[in-house]
Structures are given as C-alpha cells and as structure tokens.
Amino acid sequence: MVLDANWIVGFVDGEGCFHVGISENTQMKVGKQVLCEFVVTQHIRNLSVLYALKKSMQNIGVVRKKRKTYQFRVRKLSELYQVVLPFFEKHNLKTDKNIDFLGFRDVVHLMFRGEHLTSEGFEKIKSIQSRMNRRRFGVENSLE
Amino acid sequence: MVLDANWIVGFVDGEGCFHVGISENTQMKVGKQVLCEFVVTQHIRNLSVLYALKKSMQNIGVVRKKRKTYQFRVRKLSELYQVVLPFFEKHNLKTDKNIDFLGFRDVVHLMFRGEHLTSEGFEKIKSIQSRMNRRRFGVENSLE
C-alpha cells in the first residue's frame, strides 16, 4: 500500500503524537534522560496501515505491540532529524498538533547538537516540553 | 484553509465516523427511524479545521457543539448521496473504516430509494448496521 504524503499528514493530524519524555537517569550528567518519539497508535485491525506508514517514511522506526494496541514509532534521533522533521516541515499539519510538532522539532534540534547533556540545554528542553501535548491542558506527559 | 482531498481522507481515517442509527418512531410505518450521519469530532482548538472541512466538501453539513466537543456532521440524505459517497468512492479510506463506509453507502442507497420505509428494506438496513462500526467489536451503536 502506497500512502500519499497528504494522507499521512491527515492521519497524523488525527492519530499521531509528537512526544518528549523526561525520565530519571543517574548515569547522565544532568540526572535525567530525554527521549523524543513520534508515534502513531492503532488497533491490530490496522496493523497493515502502520507497516505502510513505516514503508512510506523511508522505512524508519519500528512497529511494536503496546498493551492492546500497535504502534509505529520512531525514536532514533538520526531518523527523527533526517526524515520526520523534514517531512512535517514540507507537509504542514493542519490541526493544533502542529504546535506540538514545532516544540518537538526544537527539542530534536537541541539533542542533535548534544545540548540535552548540559544543564542549560536540559532546562530549555524542560521548558519546551511543558508547553507541549496534553501538558497544555493539564494532563501529565511522561513516557512509559 | 484549503484542504487537500488526500489529507481529508487521512484525517477521516483517523477521526471520522460513518454512523447508521436506528431509533423508535411510532409515526413511521415500520415503527423505527433510520438516520445516517457522517461525523468528524474535534476539540474546540481545531474548530477552524472543522469549518475548513465543511468548506472543502462543497459546504455541506453543519458544524455544531456536542457536549464538550465540536462536530462537522452531515445528515441530509441528498448531501450524503451527492457529495460524501462520491468523495470516498473516489478517494478510498485506508483503514478498516472503509468497511464502515461501504455499509454506510449501502444504507444511504437504500434510503435514497425509499426502501427504509418498507419492512423488507428496514430489515436489510438493520442487517448492514449490525456489521458496522463498533458493533463489530461488541459496543453499542445508537445515535444520541
């Protein structure tokens, strides 16, 4: 199944998530670890759509079961930087999910330059994250 | 905002619903009333997207508040028959929502021919409806 770029944007506007997660990690200099992920979640009925999505996005990411659902997810910084960001810069999201994308993009840029390893860079990321996703609406936003 | 047809299909694959509702109505010969609706629901944040959707689909339907959300919804049989069906026949849905669309299309065709007013036609509609939407997965499917 070949997916049109505009279809992908529409589907991601509905079902996608640009997520910045921060977790404790004492091995890191700043004591925290940052994880960026782009995720699309579906019922097993639409597993083939998730694989088509992966294929249509230069075969990046993985398709994985998560509890009772399936996810196409991209976590590799290089894949986010080289494929996901340019894709959604070229094909703009139409819903307010674009606000999340812009924050996500800023965090990926900071991480690509290694700034998440410094206290100053980490604070910048925390500040961006606080304005993203459901945090804007008072819902917790941690990665599981 | 001009919405590309493929974006619309992707967004509807994620957020749209093709709904056939049956309710009691003693004024009807068969004692029941059939209502078909195509709906896209969003948070108020994306109200402009719902209006863009309406505009991009030949300005059919209405945008209405429903509880805490907003809906772009089309219920008029003529609009469903003349705009919604041809649109999704030309631009195929990629997820299993297409199964719902095909059932929905059959019901709209039956209603357009007035067959929902006969017992035989009504039974056909009931049979199609039973295979649609979340009914397939054991969830009730009544119109509110």
* Distance (Å) of CA A70 to CA A50, A80, A100, A125: 8, 20, 22, 28
Q: Does the beta carbon of A10 lie under 8 angstroms from any beta carbon of chain B?
A: yes
Q: What is the ipTM of this complex?
A: 0.89
Chain B interface, mutation test: which of A2, A4, A7, A48, most B Cβ atoms within 10 Å? A7
Distance CA B121, CA A20 (A): 52
Residue A123 Cα to chain centre, angstroms: 19
pLDDT score, position B133: 72
pLDDT score, position B2: 81
Place of tokens 């609406």: A137
Distance CA A104, CA A129 (A): 8
B71: left (phi over 0), alpha (psi -120 to 50) or beta: beta
Tell me which chain B residue has its CA closest to the CA of residue A40: B14
pLDDT score, position A136: 54
Mean pLDDT (whole number) for A101-109: 97
pLDDT at A144 over 80: no
pLDDT at B38 over 60: yes
Q: Does the beta carbon of A47 lie under 8 angstroms from any beta carbon of chain B?
A: no
With beta carbons under 8 A apart, name residues in chain A contacting B14: 10-11, 13-15
Residue B83 Cα to chain centre, angstroms: 12
Mean pLDDT (whole number) for A74-83: 98
Tokens standing for A85?
């960001």
- Better pLDDT: B137 or A2: A2
- Better pLDDT: A100 or A26: A100
Cross-chain Cβ contact A94/B12 below 8 Å: no
Place of tokens 């199609």: B128
pLDDT at B144 over 70: no
Nearest CA-CA partner of A110 in A99, A124, A127, A131: A124
pLDDT score, position A134: 62
Could you tell me the domains of chain B? 5-132 (3.10.28.10)
Instruction: Report the residue from A8, A46, A96 with minimal CB separation from B10.
Output: A8
pLDDT score, position B7: 98
Report chain A's mean pLDDT, rounded to a whole number: 91
Cross-chain Cβ contact B95/A45 below 8 Å: yes
The three-state secondary structure class of A80 is helix
Q: Does the beta carbon of A1 lie under 8 angstroms from any beta carbon of chain B?
A: yes
Which H or E run contains A38? strand A32-42
Distance CA B36, CA B105 (A): 10
Taking the CA of residue A20 as centre, how many other CA atoms within 13 Å lie in the half-sphere pointing to its CB? 27
Report chain B's mean pLDDT, rounded to a whole number: 91
pLDDT at A137 over 60: no
User: How do residues B77-110 score in pLDDT, each as one tens digit?
Assistant: 999 999 999 999 999 999 999 999 999 999 999 9
Instruction: Report the residue from A7, A42, A95 with minimal CB separation from B9.
Output: A7
Mean pLDDT (whole number) for A115-128: 92
DSSP string, chain B: -PPPHHHHHHHHHHHEEEEEEEEE-TTSTTSEEEEEEEEEEE-GGGHHHHHHHHHHTTT-SEEEEETTEEEEEE--HHHIIIIIHHHHHHS---STHHHHHHHHHHHHHHHHTTGGGSHHHHHHHHHHHHTSGGGGGT------
B13 near A4, Cβ under 8 Å? no
Least confidently predicted of B27-41, B84-98, B122-136? B122-136
Tell me which chain B residue has its CA closest to the CA of residue A97: B46
pLDDT at A62 over 60: yes
Mean pLDDT (whole number) for B37-58: 97
Q: Does the beta carbon of A49 lie under 8 angstroms from any beta carbon of chain B?
A: yes
Mean pLDDT (whole number) for A110-138: 85
- How big is the CA angle at A118 (ends A115 and A122), to the nearest 5 degrees? 75
Instruction: Report the residue from B10, B46, B52 with minimal CB separation from A7.
Output: B10
- Better pLDDT: A17 or B117: A17
pLDDT score, position A143: 44
pLDDT score, position A83: 98
- Tell me the nearest-neighbour CA distance from B17 into chain A, angstroms: 12
**What does pTM read for this prediction?**
0.90
pLDDT score, position A96: 94
Nearest CA-CA partner of A57 in A32, A86, A31: A86
- Better pLDDT: B32 or B65: B65
Q: Are strands B69-74 and B62-66 parallel, antiparallel or unpaired?
A: antiparallel
